[in-house]
A and B are shown apart, each in its own frame.
Chain A
Amino acid sequence: MPDDRDILLDVRDLHVKFVSRERTVHAVNGVSFELERGEVLGILGESGSGKSVTLRSIQKLLPPRNAVLSGSIWLDGEDVLTMPRKQLAELRGSDVSMIFQEPATAFDPVYTIGDQICETIVHHEGISQSEARARALELLELVRIPSAKQRLDTYPHEMSGGMRQRAMIALALSCRPKLLLADEPTTALDATVQIQVLLLLAQLQEELGLSIIFVTHDVGVAIEVSSRLAVMYGGQIVETGPLAEVVQSPVHPYTQGLLASTIHSASRGHRLEAIPGSPPNLEAPPTKCTFAPRCPYVEAACTAAVPQLEPLSDHRAVRCIRSEVGQASAAFAGN
């Protein structure tokens, strides 16, 4: 592969398991991907597929008590997983920032929005209070919060859901992060508000050249924001490639099934192509294709070993033993 690409993040063979007395959960089982600077990678998958755990690993934000991580996460040439604690704290506040579904987790209810943004800026950049306040105002304007000046002095609970989400984006951008991690940030919002926040993120991405990883379970949301897509199932990436290619010609049977079972305007009058069965329970590390029990194409080779994520072309990769033939045959109709 020609390497004139500018790689910001390189995740290699990431494994995460949670170990407790009662049970072990193999949440992430060999995830590898790269993120170019200025790219928006959408990670799409159903609940429990390991999206949030993958994302939190990038900030090493997992409970050290029971989380066991292996692999490497290179951010601008440094491995997050082996970083000293002090450097890690610095990274979490400034180089890599995160926005969540629930803004309540980002803001302290007893301080105003303005104070919290200022505090973060002063802490990480050591500038004066008044400079920080000017920056905080700029940030609220950047995320298009109306009457931004008054809004600096409001408390989180005084804002509507959509405004709080904008304020959280402002907070996340306050130290000019190299990488923005977004974990379903619009899932709890109403439809008419969700689209506003998605478009805001897309505009900011373009204006500021942000690099973003955007996690979602919603195909439509992934389509609105991503330039590239990684589809997760059972703690693994099963397919990755440019957005339009993956959506228009999915190769992995799970991607095909997920798209076919997603209801859209043309579904009416047709029986839905549901994927039978339910997702894997993750109690043991995979020894075969994790989708095999639900896959209409399953054959002996699928259960003999774990299929690797094999390149399909320069930009695409698929974890399925049939990936070379896969493209030709779509068992799931309707997409």
Chain B
Amino acid sequence: MPAINSQNANTETPQRPLLQVQNLRKYFSTKRALPAFGESPPVRAVDGISFDVQKGETLGVVGESGCGKSTMARLLIRLIDPDEGTVILDGKTIGGPGGLPIREMRSRVQMVFQDSYASLNPRLPIEESIAFGPISAGVPHDEANERAIAILAKVGLEPRLFVHRYPHELSGGQRQRVNIARALALDPRLLILDEAVSALDKSVEAQVLNLLSDLRKQLDLTYIFISHDLNVVRYISDKVMVMYLGEIVEIGDVEQVYEDPRHPYTKALLMAQPTMDPNRRTKEAPITGDPPNPIRPPSGCRFHTRCPFAEPVCAEKVPPLIRDGEGTRRVACHLWQEKSGHSKAGSDMAKELSYAG
């Protein structure tokens, strides 16, 4: 990744991404039951990822459980510290000497989690839960409460009926609206939604997705939308990032990636979606086996142990995530990189390879 252009560092240009992530890495150490065996290898949860998010766009993040989606989110809002890498918000590096203080970053970046119970204090009426953030940021009590009431109305909860209720008196969908309200109370620019609709029933999920679309327009928000549900990500996102074992394997415009996936893992993930057409049920699974353990990820391309197109080079060399021809899409696969050493490398040949079924 090139360093950011210094000319962009302070001036407000429309091209400058709201968020720039460069080579972000986080390993978790794993404890051994028997210390005699010494240090055990770490979990490579997020392993050197780089991407940008433009103002006003929604970046969807997909990938199977354990691929590092939540760790990435937690790194972005500094619930945990990265081992390596830089995160730049609106041109300012987050943390470090001379950088944007974490506290200030948190008023601009907020997060909504899957578990709508865990993130609300059960002993606080929801008005106070929502006002809590602004109050701790120095907003006077009265003003914070007024703000809470206004935001409740924005997320579709009649303030008169809801301000004094407690979390257990709400349905799952209502609790998730309160969580969104709480995240919005500090007037953030960027909202990170980590499986924020995944626990909701479909009919209620649709309500919350409609709400998120409205809020984005009204409040000029930028979203990072993390989900294991590919259909939901396609619906809400402008761009999509596909992760596998701590790495990005493909990133690009959502329709381009869904209509014409390049990375064999992206293809497999899309083909593994259950059908909606009773007359066209799935006949064959695109790939076999489970995802490997991120403690000892496979060498070279991490997908090579499950990839039907793998050749020796795939186990030997790490395919870089590079731009693939026109557009903004980037792919990390030897098939799509000329002179990579893969016998089918070069776009035309690679295009013809497809999964059975």
Contact = CB atoms under 8 A, between A and B. Distances in A.
Interface in B288-319: 288-291
Interface string B270-284: 001111111101111
B157 interface: no
Interface residues on A, range: 35 or more
Contact of B207 (A190, A195, A268, A276): A276
B233 to A, nearest CB: 9
A190 B291 contact: yes
A195 B174 contact: no
Interface stretch (A20-28, A258-266, A295-303, A320-328): A258-266
Contact of B202 (A160, A223, A244, A261): A261
With a 10 A CB-CB cut-off, give which of B173, B201, B229, B274 has the most chain A CB atoms.
B274
A243 B278 CA distance: 7
B228 interface: yes
Given A162-B290, A190-B64, A265 B258 contact: yes
Interface string B182-211: 000000000000000000011111110110
Contacts of B231: 263-265, 267
Interface residues of B, number: 46
A278 B278 contact: no
B210 A191 contact: no
Interface string A183-218: 000000011111110110000000000000000011
A196 B64 CA distance: 15
B28 interface: no
A86 interface: no
Nearest to B229: A263
A234 interface: no
B277 A223 contact: yes
Contacts of B282: 195, 198-199, 224
Nearest to A229: B278
Contacts of B201: 46-47, 217, 279
19 contacts: A191-B64, A191-B230, A192-B287, A193-B290, A195-B273, A218-B274, A220-B273, A220-B274, A220-B275, A224-B282, A243-B278, A247-B276, A248-B278, A262-B202, A263-B229, A263-B231, A265-B258, A274-B204, A274-B206
Given A223-B277, A243-B278, 4 more contacts: A193-B290, A195-B272, A244-B278, A271-B213
Interface of A: 46-47, 160-163, 190-196, 198-199, 217-221, 223-224, 243-244, 247-248, 257-258, 261-265, 267-268, 271-276, 278-279
Lowest 7 A-B CB distances belong to which pairs? A220-B274, A274-B206, A190-B64, A46-B201, A275-B203, A261-B206, A160-B290
